A = this chain, B = another copy of it.
Amino acid sequence: MKAYGETLRQIREQKGLTLKELADGICSISFLSKFERSDSDITLRLFTRVLDKLMMSFDEFLFVHNEFKAGQLERFFKAIGNAYNQNDSDALRKLKEQEKKKWKQSGLEMYKHHVLMLQMYESIIDNKAMVEEVHKEDIQRLADYFFNVEVWGQYEFMLYNATMLFLDADMVLQLSRTAYEKSIRYEEFQKVNEVTGTILMNTIIYLLGPVNKFTNEMKFQAELGEFFSYLNALSVPEHKLFERATLLQLKGAYKLRIGESELGTAMIQKAIHIYTELGAVGQANHIENYLEQIMAYQETDS
């Protein structure tokens, strides 16, 4: 792997800066030269100032350094998401083995969580019943982790989003609420902001329950109201059209759920219409199927 210094040199030369100019006020010229030739490493403090001077963020620097590939966190969850969406249980198993290995080497709890998560996705794909008894305590451990971490970071948000579907309703209620509260200080940090959105959406979907229950009595009415208001707050910026469209769609589903069929259908139709107008046919079809499923069950029922 290329050293960081070489990347820095590339960037500096791109910008037409001399060693002297970049080093000025930060470190000696000779040292910067050494670092760029990977004759020496650099301390965090100095490097921060170098990047500041270049008006560059660490993540962007690393992105360039890693040949324009995203960081490990995103790659990890994206790999899981891709494998799951493509029903590729081989890929999931592979990922699971990797994490298991890391766990055995380090004994760190986080890798155990990863193994659990991957196992669960695997069992969904393979349509195997989850070996509940065995995992029960692992799940509890995972939930405990979420309850104990005081400040959530992007990792916790993403992990929770990827596992909430396996947790009990009362846990989900508490944790999603916690997640929303903890996310507020990340308002300016786009990535966390976005995961929070998905968490809230998934929570609402979770609380609405399976489609074939849409005619029974309602369990989480108050809580749904609460989470709708969170999602509303998150979608305040007017350019967040995707969040707003999803909100519309979910509100429609909610109306359907509580029996206001005409209103609910109308709202979902609106959402479908918007997606269609914008040429997002995949999404439009997806919602349409969802709506049809509900209708089918309700017909059976009546």
Residues of A within 8 A of B (CB): 4, 10-11, 14-17, 21, 24-25, 41-45, 47-48, 52, 54-60, 62-64, 68-73, 76, 106-110, 145, 148-151, 153-155, 185-186, 188-192, 238-242, 244-245, 248, 270, 274-275, 277-280, 282-283
Once the chains are docked, how many angstroms separate the CA of A148 from the CA of B4?
23
Chain B residue numbers with a CB within 8 Å of A70 are 188-189
Q: Is the CB of B106 within 8 A of A64?
A: no
Q: Are A16 and B149 CB-contacts (below 8 A) given A58-B62, A280-B238? A: yes
Q: Is the CB of A14 within 8 A of B150?
A: yes
The A contact surface, by secondary structure, is helix
Q: Which 10 A-B pairs have the closest CB atoms?
A: A58-B58, A241-B241, A238-B280, A244-B278, A41-B43, A55-B155, A59-B59, A239-B242, A70-B188, A68-B185
Q: Are A64 and B151 CB-contacts (below 8 A) given A21-B106, A245-B241? A: yes
Q: Is the CB of B108 within 8 A of A64?
A: no
Shortest Cβ distance from A94 into chain B, in angstroms?
19
Q: What would be 24 A-B contacts, judged by CB atoms less than 8 Å apart?
A: A14-B150, A15-B110, A16-B145, A21-B107, A21-B108, A41-B45, A42-B44, A52-B72, A55-B76, A56-B153, A57-B59, A57-B71, A57-B154, A58-B59, A59-B59, A60-B154, A63-B188, A63-B189, A69-B188, A70-B188, A238-B282, A244-B280, A245-B278, A274-B278
Q: Are A241 and B188 CB-contacts (below 8 A) given A11-B151, A44-B4, A56-B73? A: no
Chain B residue numbers with a CB within 8 Å of A47 are 44
Not counting A43-B43, A44-B47, A60-B153, a sample of 16 additional A-B residue pairs whose C-beta atoms are within 8 angstroms of each other reads A15-B110, A16-B145, A25-B106, A52-B72, A56-B153, A56-B155, A57-B58, A60-B189, A60-B191, A70-B189, A190-B191, A240-B242, A241-B241, A241-B274, A242-B242, A274-B278
